[in-house]
């Protein structure tokens, strides 16, 4: 057990998976000699060599297309897209090949690969570096979409994603990359994909979030519990797709009230999907309309206005209080 | 020809900050006619009970609210039909023979006039279903007439009337196991015991761990009082100064005085105290000020409006005597007389209780109280409570003599007022009451 940042924890997961399985290889822009734009692959080029840690040209569509071909032939590529905004360049390969190959070949070929990409705001970057477009991939059948919130679950989920037989979109909240350290076990650890975590059990209201917004929610929940006396149940989705409907429905059936917090745009976002599922599975227990705290339906702004654009703890507290006041 | 017109009457804006109220009384029923300005309904708001006059002359074709219902500004209260009524010379329109008589047509209580269903959350609908209640038969107290959980519980006679089979096996298994406490003999008898204390109190019968209880919702007025009191108590650092005034001389003069111009006027001690307070704030104006924390200013007022705390059926109210400093003791006595008669019928207007700058509570009028710690109204800095005056052994010129002593409890807002200013204030007041000649010069 040692204290690690999320970047160090991700590096640990990549290192141990490469060590355990020779078919695991890394590819992406500057992941080799340079160690990655955020240094997630630092040291791996020296350790495993250029045949397993490959620098690619600036061509995202090529990176994903190549990886799909490698996966068909039995390798387990882990690709890094420098910023999630650049994945749109690879949209065609992700959507047409990566997601559908298993179905198209009637199960003969599975695409065991991971597409890693840092995403989300909070580091005063530009618009295509700061977006949260996980809803695109959650909408695509055949993809798993995993989003960790801290060093320990980042390591365990990345290891699980690499071991998974199907393609996994692994979005890393870069605002959390070096935000804090956490105890991460030295020995191999994985977490099941598709299982949400009840971070704090409570009885009054359920707050659901994931990624960097978990920190905002934790801050809000601390205030709500300590100052306002609200017993909040806080749930970390961890996996946006497949979604752990059972855990969410069980929680909201008890509390009757729910607020969902994410950075992605509101319309047709992950919160909308959560609401639809709660409507299907917990309808008769609802005491109030479920509220969403999200970024507005606007392109990500320049960094001067970023903090007004992103949800903060006050927004979450206000939404929780409004939901509790509804009767 | 007759021309009629349907007019909807919405609850008007009742004054600053008042958004909702409770219907206390409806003076007209559906089908009755009413003339313009005649009393239509009485609504109790946060501030006071308000009599609302009819805006038109006409017939009430529909009453959209019930007594005790919570209503909001803008909600439709009544629909009137106005205009000339058909004259007798016109023959009434014959009913089509085949038409179903209106009376036999099943009413549609499930829908309101706009065809919408009764508003309620899914969980409340489930609760109503479990208790076998028609949601539409319950008066919703929530925003927009929404039926709340509390409404369903009240309609089903409280939570404890649940038949035990309501909790399904499914929910029962989800519940955490309850560890039974060691039974204590007297507690075990509880359910069988009939309530030893039959209280004639309106409310929902219920029980807690120690016996039978009655749950009664707070009235709108009580909610307001409790909010104001807790705000005042939590935000104003109170210091209470207790004193006595020897009013033997004042009482003698008061009793002996007979005003031929106003033979019915009751010159009470309170009237003199109001006058004395007005004189004292003129010499120590900070007691008539208020603190504006947001701007960091003291607001000195050039007017003196004295609130008089009175007990009514709806709780404590402080109607205000405006410009009391410009009134004689006699005029103050007349104003107090109006206040006490209004207090009996609890008929204060919204504006009657606004704009006070200092409040006096005549607590002694209610019974044998002496000193207390009055709570200052937000926006004021002082509050004076009068205890019950009583003959006491008093030392005058080194001799113990019986004197009539009025206990005074005076709270100040210590953010603005220190003893250095309060003590001269109360000293001025006591001097006035002990030497009534000061009122006259």
Interface test with A, best of B119, B121, B129, B130 (most A CBs within 10 A): B121
| The domain made up of B4-88 is a member of CATH 1.10.10.10 | no
pLDDT at site B325: 93
- Mean pLDDT within B253-268: 85
Distance from the Cα of A286 to chain B's closest Cα (Å) equals 5
Cβ–Cβ contact B147 with A under 8 A: no
pLDDT at A31 over 60: yes
Interface confidence (ipTM) of the complex = 0.73
Q: Which helix (H) or strand (E) holds B274?
A: helix B269-283
Q: What is the mean pLDDT of chain B?
A: 80
pLDDT at B166 over 60: no
pLDDT at site B316: 81
Alpha carbon of B348 to those of A233, B49, B221, B302, B344: distances in Å?
47, 6, 12, 25, 10
Q: What letter does residue B441 receive in the DSSP assignment?
A: -
Q: What is the mean pLDDT of chain A?
A: 96
In sequence order, the 6+-apart residues with CB closer than 8 A to the CB of A188 are A16, A20, A159
pLDDT at site B180: 46
Question: Exposure of B100 by Cβ count < 10 A (0-12 exposed, 13-18 middle, 19+ buried)?
Answer: exposed
- CB atoms A327 and B125 under 8 Å: no
Cβ–Cβ contact B126 with A under 8 A: yes
pLDDT at site B176: 45
* Percentages of chain A per state (helix, strand, coil), in multiples of 5: 40, 20, 40
Cα(first)–Cα(last) distance of chain B, in Å? 73
pLDDT at site A208: 98
- Mean pLDDT within B211-221: 85
A-chain CB neighbours of B146 within 8 Å are 327
Q: Which helix (H) or strand (E) holds A117?
A: strand A114-119
Query: How far apart (Å, rounded) are the C-alpha atoms in residues B250 and B252?
Result: 5
CATH T-level assignment (fold) for domain A2-184: Rossmann fold (3.40.50)
Distance from the Cα of A284 to chain B's closest Cα (Å) equals 5
- CB atoms B149 and A327 under 8 Å: yes
Q: Give A279-308 pLDDT, tens digit per residue.
A: 999 998 999 999 999 999 999 999 889 999
- CB atoms B122 and A284 under 8 Å: yes
pLDDT at site B114: 53
Residue of chain A whose Cα is closest to the Cα of B123? A285
Least confident interval from A77-81, A91-95, A170-174, B26-30: B26-30
A-chain CB neighbours of B123 within 8 Å are 256, 284-287
**Nearest beta carbon to residue B122 from set A286, A326, A327:** A286
Q: Give B374-426 pLDDT, tens digit per residue.
A: 999 999 999 999 999 999 999 999 999 999 999 999 999 999 999 999 999 99
pLDDT at site B108: 43
The DSSP string of B186-217 is HHHTGGGSPPSS-----SEEEEETTEEEEE-P
Query: How far apart (Å, rounded) are the C-alpha atoms in residues A29 and B56?
Result: 79
A-chain CB neighbours of B128 within 8 Å are none
Q: Give B113-163 pLDDT, tens digit per residue.
A: 456 778 899 999 988 888 888 888 888 888 888 899 888 988 887 544 443
pLDDT at site A232: 97
Query: How far apart (Å, rounded) are the C-alpha atoms in residues A269 and A276?
Result: 11
Question: Among all residues of B, which ones are annotated catalytic?
Answer: 414
Query: How far apart (Å, rounded) are the C-alpha atoms in residues A315 and A179?
Result: 21
pLDDT at site B202: 81
- CB atoms A286 and B125 under 8 Å: no
| The domain made up of B221-440 is a member of CATH 3.90.1150.10 | no
**Nearest beta carbon to residue A284 from set B126, B142, B149:** B126
pLDDT at site A10: 98
In percent, the amount of chain B with pLDDT more than 70 equals 80
pLDDT at site B382: 96
pTM over 0.80: no
CB B272 within 8 A of CB B250: yes
A-chain CB neighbours of B121 within 8 Å are 286-288, 326-327
pLDDT at B36 over 90: no
CB A79 within 8 A of CB A53: no
Tell me: cis bond preceding A242? Omega within 30 of 0 counts: yes
Query: How far apart (Å, rounded) are the C-alpha atoms in residues B128 and B153?
Result: 8
Cβ–Cβ contact A325 with B under 8 A: no
- CB atoms A287 and B125 under 8 Å: no
Distance from the Cα of B66 to chain A's closest Cα (Å) equals 20
Going by their DSSP bridges, the two strands B320-321 and B306-312 should be labelled as antiparallel
Domain boundaries for CATH 3.40.50.970 within chain A: 2-184
Query: How far apart (Å, rounded) are the C-alpha atoms in residues A264 and A300?
Result: 10
pLDDT at site B342: 82
Cβ–Cβ contact A62 with B under 8 A: no
Q: Give A144-156 pLDDT, tens digit per residue.
A: 999 999 999 999 9
Domain boundaries for CATH 3.30.559.10 within chain B: 221-440
pLDDT at B306 over 90: yes
Highest mean pLDDT among A223-227, B117-121, B186-190: A223-227
Q: Give B44-77 pLDDT, tens digit per residue.
A: 877 677 778 888 888 888 888 888 888 888 888 8
pLDDT at A110 over 50: yes
In percent, the amount of chain A with pLDDT more than 70 equals 100
Residue of chain A whose Cα is closest to the Cα of B129? A284
Interface test with A, best of B70, B123, B143 (most A CBs within 10 A): B123
Question: Catalytic residue among A45, A73, A128, A129, which?
Answer: A129
Cβ–Cβ contact A288 with B under 8 A: yes
The HSE-up count of residue B354 (CA atoms within 13 Å, CB side) is: 10
Which is nearest to A239 in space by CA: A297, A169, A308, A301? A169
CB B42 within 8 A of CB B51: yes
A-chain CB neighbours of B122 within 8 Å are 283-287
Distance from the Cα of A16 to chain B's closest Cα (Å) equals 41
Query: How far apart (Å, rounded) are the C-alpha atoms in residues A118 and A82?
Result: 7
How many CB atoms lie under 10 A from the CB of residue A134? 26
Name the architecture of domain A197-325. Answer: 3-Layer(aba) Sandwich (3.40)
pLDDT at A315 over 90: yes
The larger pLDDT score, comparing residue B113 to residue B327, is at B327
B-chain CB neighbours of A326 within 8 Å are 121
Cβ–Cβ contact B124 with A under 8 A: yes
Query: How far apart (Å, rounded) are the C-alpha atoms in residues B66 and B338?
Result: 31
3-state SS assignment for residue A181: coil
Residue B19 pLDDT level (bands cut at 50, 70, 90) = confident
Q: Which helix (H) or strand (E) holds B32?
A: none
- Mean pLDDT within B188-207: 62
- CB atoms B121 and A283 under 8 Å: no
Cβ–Cβ contact B122 with A under 8 A: yes
pLDDT at site B56: 83
Helices (H), chain A: 6-20, 44-48, 60-72, 91-93, 101-104, 127-130, 134-138, 151-163, 213-226, 245-255, 270-281, 306-309, 313-325
pLDDT at A54 over 80: yes
Domain boundaries for CATH 3.40.50.920 within chain A: 197-325
- Mean pLDDT within B206-219: 86
Domain boundaries for CATH 2.40.50.100 within chain B: 4-88
């Amino acid at each position: 057990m040692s204290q690690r940042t999320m970047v160090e924890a991700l590096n640990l997961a990549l290192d141990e998976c490469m060590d355990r399985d020779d078919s695991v290889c890394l590819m992406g822009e500057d992941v080799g000699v340079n160690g990655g734009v955020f240094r997630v692959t630092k040291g791996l080029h020296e350790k495993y060599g250029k045949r397993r840690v490959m620098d690619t040209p600036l061509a995202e569509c090529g990176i994903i297309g190549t990886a799909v071909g490698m996966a068909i032939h039995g390798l387990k590529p882990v690709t890094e897209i420098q910023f999630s905004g650049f994945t749109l360049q690879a949209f065609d390969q992700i959507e047409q090949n990566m997601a559908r190959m298993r179905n198209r070949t009637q199960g003969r070929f599975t695409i065991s690969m991971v597409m890693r990409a840092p995403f989300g705001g909070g580091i005063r970057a530009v618009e295509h570096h700061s977006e949260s477009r996980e809803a695109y991939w959650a909408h695509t059948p055949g993809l798993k979409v995993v989003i960790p919130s801290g060093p320990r679950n980042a390591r365990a989920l990345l290891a699980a994603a690499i071991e998974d037989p199907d393609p996994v979109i692994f979005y890393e909240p870069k605002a959390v990359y070096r935000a804090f350290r956490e105890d991460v076990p030295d020995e191999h650890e994985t977490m099941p994909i598709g299982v949400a975590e009840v971070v704090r059990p409570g009885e009054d209201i359920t707050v659901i979030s994931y990624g960097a917004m978990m920190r905002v929610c934790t801050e809000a929940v601390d205030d709500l519990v300590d100052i306002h006396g609200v017993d909040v149940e806080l749930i970390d989705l961890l996996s946006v797709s497949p979604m752990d409907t059972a855990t969410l429905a069980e929680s909201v059936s008890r509390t009757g009230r729910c607020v969902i917090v994410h950075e992605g745009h509101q319309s047709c976002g992950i919160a909308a999907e959560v609401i639809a599922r709660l409507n299907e599975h917990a309808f008769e227990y609802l005491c109030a309309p479920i509220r969403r705290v999200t970024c507005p339906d606007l392109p990500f702004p320049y960094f001067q206005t970023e903090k007004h654009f992103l949800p903060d703890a006050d927004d979450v507290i206000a939404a929780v209080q409004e939901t509790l006041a509804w009767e | 020809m007759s021309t009629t017109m349907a007019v909807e009457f919405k609850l008007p804006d009742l004054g600053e900050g008042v958004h909702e109220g409770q219907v206390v009384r409806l003076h007209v029923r559906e089908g009755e006619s009413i003339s313009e300005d005649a009393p239509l309904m009485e609504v109790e708001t946060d501030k006071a009970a308000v009599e609302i006059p009819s805006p038109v002359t006409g017939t009430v074709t529909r009453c959209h609210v019930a007594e005790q219902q919570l209503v909001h500004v803008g909600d439709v209260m009544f629909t009137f039909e106005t205009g000339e009524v058909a004259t007798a010379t016109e023959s009434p329109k014959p009913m089509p023979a085949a038409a179903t008589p209106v009376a036999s047509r099943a009413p549609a209580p499930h829908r309101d006039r706009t065809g919408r269903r009764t508003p309620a959350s899914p969980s409340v609908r489930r609760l109503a279903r479990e208790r076998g209640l028609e949601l539409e038969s319950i008066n919703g107290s929530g925003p927009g007439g929404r039926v709340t959980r509390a409404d369903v519980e009240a309609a089903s006679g409280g939570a404890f009337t649940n038949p035990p089979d309501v909790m399904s096996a499914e929910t029962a298994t989800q519940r955490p196991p309850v560890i039974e406490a060691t039974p204590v003999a007297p507690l075990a008898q509880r359910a069988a015991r009939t309530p030893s204390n039959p209280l004639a109190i309106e409310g929902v019968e219920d029980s807690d761990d120690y016996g039978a209880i009655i749950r009664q919702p707070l009235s709108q007025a009580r909610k307001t009082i409790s909010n104001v009191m807790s705000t005042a108590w939590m935000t104003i650092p109170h210091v209470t100064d207790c004193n006595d005034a020897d009013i033997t001389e004042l009482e003698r003069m008061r009793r002996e005085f007979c005003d031929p111009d106003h033979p019915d006027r009751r010159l009470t001690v309170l009237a003199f105290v109001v006058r004395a307070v007005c004189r004292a704030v003129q010499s120590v104006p900070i007691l008539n000020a208020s603190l504006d924390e947001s701007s960091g200013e003291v607001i000195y007022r050039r007017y003196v409006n004295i609130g008089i705390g009175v007990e009514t059926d709806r709780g404590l109210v402080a109607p205000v005597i405006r410009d009391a400093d410009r009134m004689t003791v006699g005029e103050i006595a007349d104003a107090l007389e109006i206040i006490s008669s209004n207090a009996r019928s609890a008929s204060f207007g919204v504006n009657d209780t606004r704009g006070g700058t200092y409040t006096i509570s005549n607590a002694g009028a209610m019974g044998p109280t002496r000193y207390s710690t009055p709570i200052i109204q937000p926006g004021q800095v002082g509050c004076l409570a009068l205890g019950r005056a009583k003959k006491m052994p008093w030392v005058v010129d080194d001799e113990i003599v019986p004197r009539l002593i009025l206990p005074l409890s005076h709270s100040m807002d210590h953010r603005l007022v220190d003893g250095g200013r309060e003590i001269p204030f109360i000293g001025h007041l006591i001097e006035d009451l002990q030497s009534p000649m000061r009122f006259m010069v």
